[in-house]
Amino acid sequence: MLVEDSLVVRTLLSHIIARDPRLELAGAAASGEEALAAIDTVRPDVISMDIRLPGIDGLETTRRIMAERPTPIVVVADAVEDSSLRISMNALRAGALSVVEKPVATTHAGYDAVSGQICTQLRIMAAVPVIRRRPIGAEWVARPAGTPARSPAAGPVPQAPPSVLAIAASTGGPPALAKVLGALPRDFPLPVLLVQHMGGAFMEGFANWLDGVVPMSVGLARDGGSAEPGRVHVAPGDRHLELGAGGRLRITDAPPVGGQKPAATVLFSSVARHAGPRGLGVLLTGMGEDGALGLLDMRRAGAATVAEHESTAVVYGMPAAAVRLEAAIAVLPLDRVAAHLSRLVQPEPPL
């Protein structure tokens, strides 16, 4: 189902969907109110959600859908408007699964790439079984059916004091990252290197949004910059982020790894090489297997490693792959990750 107030964009999106034989347009709404009224009748597998809507905006529409009839939602947003980007990030926090760039005219040079990405995201997200979930403070969570659960485990504490935290996520990542990093203090003593799978056009907006919701300062990582303690360095769009020698950051244009760029495995493996047992690695919710092999590299180097537990993962793909490889020393629900990191950074003195 399309939710889009602009007739021009709605027509364009309808055309894009009609070109993909794996998609069928079940309905269209020009406002949040129309979407909420129609959803029980249309019963869509996935929703394409505009953010700037008359009346109830896309953020509030997303909140209500996820509370009343959870359905996979893909936000289609203008990547160049700061206010639209912020609303889009908050929609991800409210339950939308991903955000993609709004299409422009068919004559635009990037039209085919943007339309292809929209269709890909709609097809993938339609298969994610979102459900409401309240006990741990999240209204919704999803996981592929048949994925076995694993009990949380704290695991042993590595002996070397950590010097850098690497954290990565994909689908469902923005709210998960906000929850973990938001529970860490402003003066957190380690630099934080972060990979989030998201369209390149949205990465600066994502970093700005995260900067406004967590205590630490957040910004895009710069090639050759220093990994500063108490700062979150976000991988820029369509570039890999690595930890280099001497605590310097490296931004590279190497090919995708596992289909991802930036790739969590690239980041984690670089931390394994240059920080060894003084690394901390955290792999959160996400589709696919990116990060699992890199987290294994970190564990083999003696680092402390954490994977999100199935009970809180929006999509238990990336963490599940790490668990299968025994790459994670600790497998923890989201609300316990920050406390575990704090314990590793500032362990309690022996009695």
Residues identified as active-site: 170, 197, 290
Residues 213 and 90: beta-carbon distance below 8 Å = no
Residues 178 and 210: beta-carbon distance below 8 Å = yes
Q: Distance between CA 78 and CA 86 in Å, rounded?
A: 11
CA 32 vs CA 50, 63, 115, 143: distances in Å = 9, 11, 23, 27
Q: Distance between CA 346 and CA 264 in Å, rounded?
A: 25
Q: Distance between CA 27 and CA 154 in Å, rounded?
A: 47
Residues 226 and 249: beta-carbon distance below 8 Å = yes
Nearest to 116 by CA among 44, 19, 201: 19
Residues 283 and 334: beta-carbon distance below 8 Å = no
Backbone angles phi, psi at 263, to 5 degrees: -115, 135
> Strand ranges (DSSP E) for the chain?
2-3, 28-29, 47-49, 73-77, 98-101, 130-132, 140-142, 164-169, 192-196, 217-220, 231-234, 240-243, 249-252, 279-283, 304-308, 330-332
First to last CA, the chain: 60
Q: In this structure, what DSSP letter does residue 210 have?
A: H
Query: Which residues contact residue 210 at a Cβ distance below 8 angstroms, ignoring those fewer than 6 apart?
Result: 89, 174, 177, 178, 181, 218, 232, 234
Q: Distance between CA 194 and CA 263 in Å, rounded?
A: 10
